[in-house]
Chain A
Amino acid sequence: MSLAAQFPVLVVVLPLFVAPLLALLANRGNLPWLVAIVTSALTFAMAIALTAQVMQTGVIYYELGNWPVPFGIGLTIGPLSAMMLMIISGASTVALAAGRESMNAEVGEEHQALLYSCWLLAMTGLLGIAVTGDAFNIFVFMEISSLASYVLVANGPKRQALTASFKYLVTGTLGATFYLIGVGYLYMMTGTLNIADMATRLADVSDTLPVMIAGGFVILGVALKAALFPMHAWMPNAYQYAPTPVAIFFAACATKVALFVMLRFQYELFLPNLGPQASFLSSWLIPLCVGGFLVGSAVAMFERDLKRMLGYSSVAQLGYIVLGISLSSSAGVTAAMIHFFNHALIKAALFVAVAGMVLRFGSSNIEQLAGVGKRMPLTTLGFVLAGVSLIGVPLTAGFISKWYLIQAVLELGGLGILLTILILVSSLMAVVYIWKVVEVAYFKEPVDGQSMLGVREAPMPLLVMLWVLVFANIWFGIDPSIPITLAKQEAAGFFGGAR
C-alpha cells in the first residue's frame, strides 16, 4: 500500500510513536521542543493531505489489523473529522511555534522533555478521537488526551495550577465515566460498538428507556468535558493557571473535540433513530446554551485576569456551537461546524497575543498590562483585530459564524427571533470586554513602579504566528469556502443518506 493510503492511521500513530521516545531525551537546550514541533508540523501536513482527499473523494475508511468492521476497529474520516484533524494539529504547531520562550519562562528547562512528551500525547488523544468510528475507542483516546492535559495544566507556574488540575481531573474523569456508562447501555441494547453499526441496529430498540438513558449519559459525559454551562467551572480556572502555550493549544481545540463527539452521536445515532425524543431532549439544551453565552460573556466583562476572561469568553462561544447542534437541523449543525473552525482561529490568535504580553510583562492581570499598546504595538494590534473577529464584525471569520448561526436560529420562528436578540446582546458584551483591554492598553499610563525597561515587542516567532492567524481570520471572513464546503458536505451526509 502506498504511504498516502496509510495517512488515516499515521496521522495518529506518528505523535504516538514519538512521544515515549521524547520522554527519554535529555533536557538539553531546545531539543525536546524541536522534536515536538517537527512531529506536530508533519502531522499537520498529513491532516491537510487527508482534508484534500476527503473533499475530492468523500469519506475515507480504514480497517485496523485488516479485520472487518464491527469485529475490528475501523477509522472513519469524513469532512468534519478532516476539519478537526487540521484544527488540532494546526493549533498544536502554532502554539509550539509561538510559545517556545513562554514555556521556558513559565516552566523552566528541567521539566521540558516530560512536558513536551505529554503535549504530543494530548495531541495524539485528540487526533485519535477525530478519526475513529468505534465508540469505545473514543473513550480510550479521550483518556489519553485527558490524562496528558491534566499533567500539562499542573505544570503551571503558580500553586493554583495544582488545584485547577485536580478539579479538572475529577470533572474530566466523571465525564469520561458517564460517557462509558452511556456506551455500556448502548452496547447492552444493540450488541455492537461501531457507531455506524449501532445506528442501524438502534432502530429496533429505539423506544426503550435504557436507550434514552444511554443518550442522556453520553450527552452528559461529553458536556462535562466540553465545559457546557452549568458545568463549565473547571475551564476558565484551567486556562488561567496552565502555562500560556498550553492555554493556546487547549483554547483552540480541546473542548471542541468533546463537542465533535456530541455532534456525531446526536446526528448519526440519536436523531435518525430516536427522532422525536431526541429532538425533545436536545431542545432542553437550548436554555443551557443561552445560559452559557449570556453568563459567560457577562462574567468575562468583570474578570480582572486576561486569561480567565478569555476562558469565560470561550464558555460563551461554545454555547453558540452547542446552540447550533441542539437545533437538530441541517442549518444548525452546519453553523456549529463552521464555528468549530472559526473559533479555533479566533481564540488561538487571542491567546498567542496574550502569551506575548505575559512573557514581557510577567503577569496576565489586566490592570498591570497598562500601556502595553505603546510598548508592544504589533502584539496589541493583533489582539484587537482578533477581538474584532470575536465580536463578529463583517469581513472577519467571526461574522461568518454568527451569520450562519442566526440564519439557522431564525428557522425556529418566534423563538428564533428571541434567540437572535440574545446572541446580539452577548456580542455587545464581547465588545465591552474587548474594549476594556483596548482602553487599558492604549489609554492608560503604566502602573507606578512597574518597570518598563524590559518590555519590548514579543519574540519574532510569536509575532509571525499571531499575524498569520489574524490574516487567516480576515481571509476566511472574506472567502470562507473551505470550512463551508466541509461543513455542508458533512451535514449532507447526516441528513441525506448513509455515510
Chain B
Amino acid sequence: MTLLGLYNYWIFILLLVVGLYAVLVKGNYVKRMIGLGIFQAAVFLLYITMDKVEGGTGPIMRGVPEPGQLYANPLPQVLILTAIVVGIAVTALGLALAIRIREEYGSIEESDIRRQDQES
C-alpha cells in the first residue's frame, strides 16, 4: 500500500506542528524548551526515515560481506548523531537561562516577565 510507505513523513509533519505549536503559543519558558525538543526530534525522524533500505540490515560489515547484501544508508545516521548532541547542547543552555530568569524575575511565564519589564 503506497499510503503506509509515506506514514513516516506524515508523523514527521504531525510532530513538527505539535512542537512548533508549543514553542510559539505556550508562555512558559520550560514548556517552550520541551516543544523545541519535540520539533528537533521530528527532524531526526525525517533524516532517519531516509536511511532505510528494504531488505537491508544495519551498516555494519561483519566478516566477508555476501554479494548482493543490502545495507541501510549510513550517512543520515552520522548527521543525526551530530544533531542529537546539538539538541542537548541547546536544551542545556536554554534551561540554564530559564533558571537564571526565574531567579531574577520570580517567574518563567512570558506574561509575568513582560509585565515586570514594562513596569521597570
Contact = CB atoms under 8 A, between A and B. Distances in A.
Interface of A: 136, 139-140, 143, 147, 150-151, 154, 159-160, 162-163, 165-166, 169-170, 173-174, 177, 180-181, 184, 187-188, 193
Contact of A160 (B47, B93, B98, B117): B117
A143 B83 CA distance: 10
A147 B90 contact: yes
B100 A162 contact: yes
8 contacts: A150-B93, A159-B105, A166-B97, A166-B98, A170-B94, A181-B46, A188-B50, A193-B75
Given A170-B32, A181-B43, A187-B50, A162 B82 contact: no
Contact of A163 (B36, B47, B101): B101
Contact of B117 (A140, A163, A165): A163
Contacts of B100: 154, 162
Nearest to B91: A173
Q: Is the contact region of chain B dominated by helix, strand, or loop, or is it mixed?
A: helix
A174 B23 contact: yes
Given A162-B100, A163-B101, A184 B117 contact: no
A166 B46 contact: no
B22 to A, nearest CB: 11
A180 B100 CA distance: 29
B112 to A, nearest CB: 11
Contacts of A181: 16, 43, 46
Q: Is the contact region of chain A dominated by helix, strand, or loop, or is it mixed?
A: helix
Contacts of B76: 187
A184 B94 contact: no
B43 A143 contact: no
A316 B117 CA distance: 26
Contacts of B54: none
Given A177-B43, A181-B43, A170 B101 contact: no
B113 interface: yes
Contacts of B70: none
Interface residues of B, number: 30
B104 A143 contact: no
Contacts of B104: 159, 162
B60 interface: no
B117 A173 contact: no
B11 to A, nearest CB: 15
B89 A170 contact: no
Nearest to A173: B90
A170 B25 CA distance: 13
Contact of A184 (B47, B89, B90, B105): B47
A163 B23 contact: no
Interface in B61-119: 75-76, 79, 82-83, 86, 89-90, 93-94, 97-98, 100-101, 104-105, 113, 117
B36 A170 contact: yes
B94 A180 contact: no
Contact of B83 (A151, A165, A180, A187): A180
B84 to A, nearest CB: 12
A147 B92 CA distance: 11
Contacts of B50: 184, 187-188
B106 to A, nearest CB: 11
A165 B97 contact: yes
A188 to B, nearest CB: 6
A169 B43 contact: no
Contacts of B75: 193
B43 A180 contact: yes
Query: Taking each of B32, B90, B117, which has the highest tally of chain A beta carbons within 10 Å of its own beta carbon?
Result: B90
Nearest to A150: B93
A169 B97 contact: yes
A427 to B, nearest CB: 33
Given A160-B117, A174-B23, A180-B43, A147 B101 contact: no
A317 to B, nearest CB: 27
